[in-house]
Amino acid sequence: MRSHLLAALAACFTLAVGVPAEADRVTFNRDYVIVASGNGGSVIDYARRASQVRATGATVQFSGRCQSACTLYLSAPRQNVCLMPGASFTFHAAYGSNPDFNRWATNYMLDRYPSWVQAWIAAHGGLSRRLLRMDYSYASRFIPTCEGRRYAAADIRG
């Protein structure tokens, strides 16, 4: 019974950063994910997608803003992630559900980030309602650039 309740809460839970200025532009197939603009959304949905990326070995190309739950794509293996100039990441604590679920979702995300992201978040005061923005110049120290990698440019909702 408890697992059904958690599943129902998970299905309803979203992680939002206000009202998105534009729709997400995340191209996803079994070989690659292109994040041109990921405004976030359901932690559960992004956790599922990030898990698929890890399971299939798909490459994630960050080419724009990746905000909120979208940052779970950073959990992909380093060799499967690349960065385009201008890419950025915005982090914050989960909110939108009950306090226990928000705490669980925040810890879930934090636990999946690579150690360099966890260290950066800790150095900037940890996850809270405050938005923490990591820019390309910092992220490019840890994520290889996408030079020479080509992907289809189809746009689908992520």
Task: Encode pLDDT of 87-104 as tens digits.
Answer: 999 999 998 878 999 999
Whole-number Å distance between alpha carbons of 126 and 123: 7
Residue type, 155: D
List, for residues 35-55, the tens digit of each pLDDT value.
887 788 889 889 998 998 888
The pTM of the full predicted model, rounded to 2 decimals, is: 0.76
- What phi and psi values does residue 92 have, to the nearest 5 degrees? -165, 170
Residue type, 29: N
DSSP 98: -
Whole-number Å distance between alpha carbons of 51 and 87: 22
